[in-house]
Amino acid sequence: MTDPLIIGAMVRTLGAYPSGWRHPGAHRDPAADADILRHIAQEGEDAGLDYLFFGDWLATGPDLEFRDPYLLARIDPVSAVLFLAGVTSRIGLIATVNTTYADPYTTARSLASLDVLTRGRAGVNLVTGAEPRAAGNHGRDAHADNESRYGRAEEFVEALRRLWDSWAEDAWVADAERGVLIDPEGLRSADLRGEHLRVSGPLNVARPPQGRIPIVHAGTSPRSRALAATAADLALIAAPTIAEAIATRRTLRDIAAEAGRSPDALKVIAPVLPVVADTDAAAHRIVERLLALVPLAEGHHSARTAFPQNRTVDALADALEVPADDELRTAAFDQPVTRAEEARLGERGAALIERVARIAGLRMAEGGTAGAGSAGAALTWRHLVAAHAVPAAFVVGDAGTIADHFERWRDHEAADGFNVLSAFQPSQFEAFTRTAAPELRRRGLLRDEGDAGGKPSATTLRDRLRVSSYVDA
């Protein structure tokens, strides 16, 4: 894998870590999302990122305040990319569409419009939905079963592609002298009559500059992986370790090959949550602050609506299988964790402590208080409970440390690229774009925006993703 990585930003205006919005200076007002979206788009484009990615969730509720605050109130992804189409000129724009509830003609039309307006920078992430409350928001009694959802999703992909292929590349003639605007033979119907969908076509939008707009898909079920491997240009994976990422990428490429597709036509993208600062120590302090800001059930209980049950020392002890009568269960949140207590938490507890100490630069207390002469702040039960209740695969450090992680995953063929998440906006995204991105480009991990003559090296999203274009059937 010697090509530059595909690097995009997964945009969450309230931050990708649940306590990120509480960090000093963080964006926390959805009513002001227009300003932060413009800023993120400019930062990402100036840094040379390949795309901005907008996820979706078709419901809301008070439980999301503590689990995923960014889902509480957010801009519709298609609206977001259309908004940013006018304030960007190079970066790709990928919107999520839920195939369980969306209409394929409307989807094909809006995305083709985006592709025309941006001269080939549109992409779509197709999901089938995991939120049962979405059913009631779309006039249904229950969320569809897995088989039905993926059957519809497969037909949805076929409908999109037939509609985008409605116009042949040479169908628009525009010969003013002869008075011929189109070649009727180049305007085709879709004629899809499936078990789940019916689409007639043709599409009343000009042919997208990319032909068929790049498709993204994520998931872990066999049906989801099959859809990603056979129909998607980008497959998004969730692999917490490099070994799992290597295995998942190989599996997806094998499925693609078995389906008669070139494995190289599928790009596998992993998420990454870098916490970036000028030094590793400064980045560790940011993580420590994020952990300290996670709302916990002070006094081991809370009457707040929908407050998670796993944010107590007692709940952590249950997860680590600490005996019910162990006094550790009554430890105060801000009490340092000692070496003696670590020994009573078992292997899983020791692994949790090691991870928290590594990402937050914390030190263990030798006795009942912090050990003298050790570097870093003391590791407390608050840190452990927060890290266990709200896990995140942080990559923490300066630009070199972040680049080392990207490079290692590329060299071990664990991923073809990364979706970059930011714990809070805008300063953490700025830290990535202004310090890490230049180092990634210096190492050849991030695309160089221009060729030797100063012209853009990639003008469409397909160019940036290095996936083949489709020709007319």
Rounded to the nearest angstrom, the gap between the alpha carbon of residue 130 and the centroid of all alpha carbons in its chain is: 16
471's CB contacts (< 8 A; 6+ apart) are 211
Q: How confident is the model at residue 369 (pLDDT cuts 50, 70, 90)?
A: very low
pLDDT in tens, 7-39: 999 999 999 999 999 999 999 999 999 999 999
- Residue 306 in contact with residue 65, Cβ under 8 Å? yes
- Rounded Cα distance between 111 and 160, Å, is 10
- Residue 45 in contact with residue 444, Cβ under 8 Å? no
Which letter, b or e, does each residue of 234-255 get, where b requires 16 or more Cβ atoms within 10 Å of its Cβ? bbbbebeebeebbebbeebbeb
* Phi, psi for residue 174 in degrees, rounded to 5: 50, 50
pLDDT in tens, 226-266: 999 999 999 999 998 999 999 999 999 999 999 999 999 99
DSSP, collapsed to helix, strand or coil, labels residue 433 as helix
Q: What share of the chain is helix, strand, coil (3-state, %, to 5)?
A: 40, 15, 45
- What local confidence, expressed as pLDDT, does residue 455 receive? 60
- Residue 64 in contact with residue 12, Cβ under 8 Å? no
% of residues, the chain, pLDDT over 70 = 93
Question: In 104-217, which residue ranges form alpha helices assigned H by DSSP?
Answer: 104-117, 133-137, 146-164
- Rounded Cα distance between 209 and 460, Å, is 8
- Residue 420 in contact with residue 9, Cβ under 8 Å? yes
Average pLDDT over residues 424-431: 98
Indicate the Cα dihedral angle 312, 317, 323, 328, nearest 10°: -70
Superfamily of domain 6-163+200-277+392-465 in CATH is Luciferase-like domain (3.20.20.30)
What is the length of the chain?
A: 473
Secondary structure (DSSP) of 29-90: -GGGHHHHHHHHHHHHHHHT-SEEEE---S---TTHHHH-GGGTS---HHHHHHHHHTT-SS
Where, residue-wise, is CATH 3.20.20.30 in the chain? 6-163+200-277+392-465
Q: Is 452 a residue whose pLDDT tops 50?
A: no
Strand pairing partners for 5?
A: 446
Q: How confident is the model at residue 468 (pLDDT cuts 50, 70, 90)?
A: confident
- Rounded Cα distance between 467 and 473, Å, is 18
Q: Is 458 a residue whose pLDDT tops 90?
A: no
- What local confidence, expressed as pLDDT, does residue 1 receive? 55
| C-alpha distances in Å from residue 121, one per residue of 50, 81, 269 | 10, 10, 18
- Rounded Cα distance between 128 and 156, Å, is 11
| Average pLDDT score over the chain | 93
Average pLDDT over residues 173-177: 96
- Rounded Cα distance between 390 and 383, Å, is 10
44's CB contacts (< 8 A; 6+ apart) are 9, 52, 91, 429, 433
